[in-house]
Amino acid sequence: MCYTLNGGIMKKLKLLVIICLVLFLIPININFFVIFSSKNSIYKENEIAKKYDIALVLGCSALKNGTPSKMLKDRLETAIYLYENNLVEKILISGDHNKTYSEITAMNNYLIQSGIDKDSILIDDMGYSTGESLVNYKEKYSDKSVIIVTQKYHLYRALFIANDLGLNAIGAHARLINYNGQLFREIREILARNKDFMLFGIFN
Give the number of C-alpha atoms closer than 13 A to the C-alpha of residue 93, restricted to the C-beta side: 33
Specify the pLDDT at position 98. 67
* pLDDT tens, position by position, 140-163: 999 999 999 999 999 999 999 999
Above 70 in pLDDT, residue 22? Answer: no
Q: Pick 56 or 177 by higher pLDDT.
A: 56
Q: What pLDDT band is residue 101 in, cutting at 50, 70 and 90? A: low
CA distance 23 to 110: 44
Residues with Cβ < 8 Å from 74, sequence gap 6 or more? Answer: 151, 174, 175, 176, 177
Above 60 in pLDDT, residue 23? Answer: no
Residues with Cβ < 8 Å from 142, sequence gap 6 or more? Answer: 166, 167
CA distance 146 to 148: 6
Specify the pLDDT at position 1. 46
Above 80 in pLDDT, residue 201? Answer: no
Yes or no: say if 125 and 92 are a contact pair by the CB < 8 Å rule: no
* pLDDT tens, position by position, 33-55: 999 999 999 999 999 999 999 99
Tell me phi and psi for residue 27, to 5 degrees.
-65, -30
Yes or no: say if 19 and 129 are a contact pair by the CB < 8 Å rule: no
* pLDDT tens, position by position, 163-192: 999 999 999 999 766 677 777 888 889 889
Q: What pLDDT band is residue 3 in, cutting at 50, 70 and 90? A: very low
Q: What pLDDT band is residue 21 in, cutting at 50, 70 and 90? A: low
Question: What's the pTM value of the predicted model, to 2 decimals?
Answer: 0.85
Specify the pLDDT at position 69. 86
One-letter amino acid of 150: T
**Strand intervals (E) in 67-201:** 67-68, 88-94, 121-124, 146-150, 169-173
CA distance 34 to 199: 13
Give the number of C-alpha atoms closer than 13 A to the C-alpha of residue 141, restricted to the C-beta side: 23
User: Residue 79: which of 137, 147, 28 has the closest Cα?
Assistant: 147
Above 70 in pLDDT, residue 91? Answer: yes
Q: Pick 83 or 28 by higher pLDDT.
A: 83
Backbone torsion region of residue 91, taken as left when φ is above 0, otherwise alpha when ψ lies between -120 and 50, otherwise beta:
beta
Q: What pLDDT band is residue 2 in, cutting at 50, 70 and 90? A: very low
Mean pLDDT in the chain?
86
CA 68 to chain centre: 17
Specify the pLDDT at position 36. 92
